[in-house]
């Protein structure tokens, strides 16, 4: 396959980008008008990826079971002829087994530049299984990091609230036959908004090294679409299974098993065992990573690189994840 590679090794002045004197809390950079040249070991590329997580053991690379990262890396190594360690593929969110994504963001690096990204974009989707699609691929500034530059992440959790489950929703929504009270669910969801210690809503994870339990929730909406309830939450970041644990408690509140103000009481305990008295984690199939948001400064394209590929002439540019 021909991918219009410009150079096997980049020149020292590979990128022309904004100076980076100060980094903000989310890993992005403050915009400055002065331009300086950076000597880099390679070129950085950003992807937006959608996947149906039903058959996968989450995003994160594992040797023993199929993951989304594993398959994306396999496709990239075939196309670029680079080893996975050279590619340095990193995802914004380590979605769990069975969790879906419409807007997962990832970055990787190559020691060469491209004239156009359309061919590599088409090749990636040609090698990937049909339940994984690269929606966009674009050049990225050297300071961009898919995970640490993120300003916020948006997740949706779908609940099908009817006696009989819609069979077309079974892989994308949790089925609740109990008629949920959305009024008290909305009241309870408001207690999550703001800056809190979410230790009580996090499962232990060996992947995290002393994670900061303090996160900021910007919004938490309960949207009704007929029998379908869509819980939409946006936050600065989330602990392991935090969203599914918050949803699980809202389900109990919606069933009127516990009052809405139980949210505040459990938050203050900072104890996961306290939440376990009232609710277990909601199942993964209802959860979807909708988008990852960044400051505009870190999304600016470097000079001398090709334009973003949106997959023209590819089905992915017109498709939407089912029911999202």
Which positions are annotated as active-site residues?
96
C-beta neighbour count of 164 within 10 angstroms? 9
Q: Which residues in 35-53 are b (16+ Cβ under 10 Å) and which e?
A: eeebebebbbbbbbbbbbb
**Alpha helices, H only, 61-106:** 68-80, 84-87
Element (H, E) at 151: strand 150-161
Q: Which residues in 195-232 are b (16+ Cβ under 10 Å) and which e?
A: ebebbbbbeeeeeeeeeeeebebeebebeeeebbbbbe
Alpha-carbon gap, residue 108 to 285, rounded angstroms: 28
The SS3 of residue 154 is strand
Task: Give one word for 91, left, alpha or beta, with left for phi > 0 and alpha for psi -120 to 50.
Answer: beta
The percent helix, strand, coil of the chain (3-state, each to 5) is: 25, 30, 45
Pick from 151, 158, 121, 155: which is nearest to 46 by CA?
121
> Residue 311: exposed, middle, or buried by beta-carbon count in 10 A (0-12, 13-18, 19+)?
buried
C-beta neighbour count of 9 within 10 angstroms? 11
* Structural contact between residues 26 and 149, judged by C-beta atoms closer than 8 angstroms: yes
């Amino acid at each position: 396959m021909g991918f219009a590679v410009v150079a096997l090794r980049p020149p020292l002045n590979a990128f022309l980008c904004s100076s980076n004197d100060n980094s903000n809390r989310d890993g992005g950079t403050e915009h400055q008008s002065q331009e300086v040249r950076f000597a880099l070991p390679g070129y950085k590329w950003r992807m937006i990826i959608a996947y149906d997580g039903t058959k996968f053991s989450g995003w994160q690379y594992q040797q023993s079971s199929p993951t989304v990262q594993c398959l994306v890396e396999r496709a990239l190594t075939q196309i670029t002829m680079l080893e996975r360690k050279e590619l340095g593929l990193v995802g914004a969110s380590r979605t769990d087994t069975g969790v879906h994504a419409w807007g997962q963001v990832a970055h990787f690096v190559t020691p060469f530049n491209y004239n156009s990204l359309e061919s590599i974009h088409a090749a990636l989707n040609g090698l990937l299984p049909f339940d994984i699609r690269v929606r966009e691929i674009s050049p990225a500034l050297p300071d961009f990091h898919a995970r640490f530059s993120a300003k916020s992440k948006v997740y949706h959790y779908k609940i099908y609230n009817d006696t009989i489950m819609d069979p077309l929703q079974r892989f994308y929504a949790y089925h609740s036959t109990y008629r949920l009270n959305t009024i008290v669910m909305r009241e309870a969801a408001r207690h999550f908004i703001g800056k809190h210690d979410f230790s009580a809503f996090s499962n232990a994870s060996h992947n995290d090294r002393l994670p900061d339990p303090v996160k900021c929730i910007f919004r938490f909406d309960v949207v009704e679409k007929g029998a379908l309830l869509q819980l939409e939450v946006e936050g600065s970041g989330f602990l392991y299974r935090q969203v599914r644990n918050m949803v699980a408690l809202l389900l109990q509140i919606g069933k009127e098993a516990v009052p809405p103000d139980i949210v505040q009481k459990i938050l203050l305990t900072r104890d996961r065992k306290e939440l376990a008295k009232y609710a277990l984690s909601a199942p993964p199939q209802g959860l979807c990573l909708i988008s990852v948001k960044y400051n505009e400064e870190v999304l600016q394209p470097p000079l001398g690189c090709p334009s973003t590929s949106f997959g023209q002439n590819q089905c992915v540019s017109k498709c939407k994840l089912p029911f999202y």
